[in-house]
Amino acid sequence: MYHIYGIGNALVDLELEVNDNFLLQNNIKKGAMTLVDESRQQELMNKVGGIQHKRCCGGSAANTIIASQQLGAKSFYSCKVASDEMGEFYTQDLARSGVKSNLSTQRPSGSTGKCMVFITDDAERTMNTYLGITELFSAEELVESELAKAQYLYIEGYLLSSATGRPAVKKALEIAKKNNVKTSLTFSDAFMVQVFGEHFREILKTPVDLLFCNESEARAFTKLEKMDEVFQELKKYAKTFAITMGDKGAKIFDGNHEIEVLAPNVEAVDTTGAGDVFAGTLMYGLTHGHGFAKSGRAACASASLLVTQFGSRLRDEQILKIKEQFFK
């Protein structure tokens, strides 16, 4: 049995410290996730003069799955990588994290996706992503027998930008429904909601059990500005949900009540992966018998700790301290 079965993009994350001038000079939209082709990404790699941090297997849903696994959940991740060096690195790094997956030694030819994460002095993260072979993620990457054994299906919203990803999401939801697996979805990015909003609305005609989003994504989806109105509108699309609000914490709907969770006061240096770690911690708590309030406090603590350092993951000893503090 798995606590969480995730589906999403497989991207090798490459974090780089740059200044605002670099973004301006290279026409990079600050604070956004921009899809680029391989030649554009290579052009930027040649130009970047910032500090590069170590690479790791990533993608939004992968970060969430790994965080839950670090806390002690049993997880499975379906994704797609190529038979190149980056694909081999991704496969091994995911395995080292203890997450089971659909990846095998017989991977298709092509290029594994890569995400350049530019970090500026204000801790803002700007992503330029070349999807590579993960853009072809399809229902073939689903392992129905494993998904059927999960408590939750976790869907990365980025998949809805792909012509093959959308049918895969629908298929995964069908399998989940057939096997009484709870469903969860993250909006992933405000840009995604703005451009592919119709696909999100189609998926959410049947409300998911759990929805994750931040303030800008929630506003983009509901087309409302006042958070009280946004909160009420989201109840039409999800039985429960969590809206992250950066240093202000999070607003959570547990199906009956609104729960406000404050975030610890910290100095942020890198916000990459904060929402992903929040989701992974919250889902660990929910799948291990802890309520939304306690799980929400732990999730805010995880995200707040993550932004004080570079990278999209907490170290094992860091996240286990959070487990000891909140999930006794």
Residue 301: which domain range? 2-326
For residue 270, give both structure tokens: 């890198």
Triad 306, 308, 311: Cα angle to 5°: 55
- Total domains, the chain: 1
Could you tell me if 13 and 55 are in contact, meaning their C-beta atoms sit under 8 angstroms apart?
yes
For 296, what's the count of Cα atoms within 13 Å in the CB-facing half-sphere? 23
User: Would you give the distance in Å from CA 35 to the centre of its chain?
Assistant: 16
- 116 three-class SS: strand
Instruction: Using alpha carbons, select from 300, 307, 242, 239 the residue that is nearest to residue 271.
Output: 307
Q: Identify the CATH number of the domain in which residue 264 sits.
A: 3.40.1190.20
The predicted pLDDT at position 188 comes to: 92
Instruction: Using alpha carbons, select from 1, 177, 10 the residue that is nearest to residue 76.
Output: 1
From first to last of its 328 residues, the chain has per-residue pLDDT tens of 999 999 999 999 888 889 999 999 999 999 888 989 999 999 998 888 766 767 889 999 999 999 999 999 999 999 999 999 999 999 999 999 999 999 977 789 999 999 999 989 898 889 899 999 999 999 999 999 999 999 999 999 999 999 999 999 999 999 999 999 999 999 998 989 999 999 999 999 999 999 999 999 999 999 999 999 999 999 999 999 999 999 999 999 999 999 999 999 999 988 889 999 999 999 999 999 999 999 999 999 999 999 999 888 999 999 999 999 999 8
Write down the pTM of the prediction.
0.92
- 257 three-class SS: coil
State how far the Cα of 171 lies from the Cα of 165, in Å rounded to an integer. Answer: 10
Instruction: Using alpha carbons, select from 88, 69, 85 the residue that is nearest to residue 77.
Output: 69
Q: Which residues pair with 115 in a beta bridge?
A: 13, 129
Instruction: Say which DSSP state 159 is in.
Output: G
State how far the Cα of 263 lies from the Cα of 196, in Å rounded to an integer. Answer: 30
Per the rule left: phi > 0, alpha: psi between -120 and 50, beta: everything else, 31 is left
| Terminal alpha carbon distance of the chain | 22
Could you tell me if 313 and 303 are in contact, meaning their C-beta atoms sit under 8 angstroms apart?
no
Q: At what angle do helices 215-222 and 190-203 cross, to 10 degrees?
A: 50
The predicted pLDDT at position 55 comes to: 83
